[in-house]
Amino acid sequence: LNNTLKKTLISLDKRKNIPNIKFAKEYKEFSYSNNKRFLKISEKDIKNISKEKILDIYKDRFSDFNNFTFFITGDVKKEEVKKYIKKYLANLPISKRVENYNFRGIKAIKGKQEFIRAYNNENISNISISYSKESKYSLEESIKLSALANVLKIKLREFIREDKSGVYGVSVRSTFRREPYENASIRISFSCDPKRKDELTRYIKSSIEDIKNNLVKEEYVNTFIKTRLITLDTNKNKTRFLLSELKNHYYYNDSLGKAKEYKNILEELNNKDIKKSANKYLNTNNIIYTQLNPKK
């Protein structure tokens, strides 16, 4: 244990001045207003670890499987699986306690926010624009959010192909979380020559306004649909896909046979849906703008 703790302390010391890691640490603290539950692990935390504490936690957690749920998928026979369940799972220790996660209502800061630091060792600016919105989850809304992110990514990458000077890459990612609360987000990030950061930010914002006010090319939407249908056809009979279906059915009471529903939603998707989703999810009520710039 002492050797592991020593290595961890050395790693922490090395990482604390790496620009991206230092930035990410401070950004997390900023996002959650220095709430202790979201602070990165510190040297003090490591020094407070003891063998006795670790052992107590281990004994507590693995002495009770009362609240564990096991999902089993694969090319196996039902009777054979039952035999192994009786042999291995049925003999696990349990107690009478009932547990569940406790959401304490802690959420990231809202409104229009800016977070700017100058830590980069190279002459590069890393920029991100993040939109978020609390919204009720559905498979349809999740697909539309992904389609919106994909369309925006195509538009921005087309611009970069036409004008490569000082632009090093662009990424658009979407997430629709269901736990601990339902929340949709889109994050646009890019790297560029610091002299062009404001110009490129303006272009991205104008592209977003264009999607919100006009119908995008159908070919953008069709590209997304075609790619997702191929992925669906490839994965729908894989263990990982079936496991995800079982878990969502158990936790959220989702219907089984999602592949068919997924396909139907994709086939009905059009550029009007993209426009509607852009106005819904790319609003500026909750937007965080970040910059990691070169050291002055």
Residue 218 in tokens:
């159908």
Q: Helix, strand, or coil here: 174?
A: strand
Residue 88 in tokens:
């291995």
Q: Distance (Å, rounded) from C-alpha 9 to C-alpha 38?
A: 19
> Using one digit for the tens of pLDDT, what is the confidence trace for 194-208?
999 999 999 999 999
> Using one digit for the tens of pLDDT, what is the confidence trace for 212-224?
999 999 999 999 9
Exposure string of 76-108, with b = 16+ CB inside 10 Å and e = fewer, is eeeeeeeeeeeeeeeeeeeeeeeeeeeeeeeeb
Query: Sheet harboring 125-133: ordered strands across?
Result: 112-120, 287-294, 125-133, 183-192, 167-177
Task: Give residue 167's pLDDT.
Answer: 84
- The DSSP H or E segment spanning 115 is strand 112-120
Q: Where are the alpha helices (DSSP H) in 85-196?
A: 139-162
Q: Distance (Å, rounded) from C-alpha 66 to C-alpha 249?
A: 20
Per-residue pLDDT at 166 exceeds 80: no
Q: Distance (Å, rounded) from C-alpha 12 to C-alpha 46?
A: 10
Cβ(126)–Cβ(22) below 8 Å: no
pTM score, whole prediction? 0.91
Cβ(19)–Cβ(291) below 8 Å: no
Higher-pLDDT residue of 140, 65: 140
Query: Which residue's entry shows tokens 């070919």?
Result: 219
Cβ(201)–Cβ(129) below 8 Å: yes
Task: Give residue 268's pLDDT.
Answer: 97
Task: Give residue 33's pLDDT.
Answer: 94
Q: Distance (Å, rounded) from C-alpha 107 to C-alpha 71?
A: 30
Task: Give residue 196's pLDDT.
Answer: 92
> Using one digit for the tens of pLDDT, what is the confidence trace for 241-259?
999 999 999 999 999 988 9
Exposure string of 44-66, with b = 16+ CB inside 10 Å and e = fewer, is eeeeeeeeeeeeeeeeeeeebee
Please give the DSSP secondary-structure letter assigned to residue 196.
G
70 phi and psi angles, rounded to 5 deg = -105, 130
Q: Which of 260, 223, 224, 229 is CA-nearest to residue 245?
A: 260
Beta bridge partners of 24: none
Residue 91 in tokens:
């003999």
| Sign of the alpha-carbon torsion through 252, 255, 259, 263 | negative
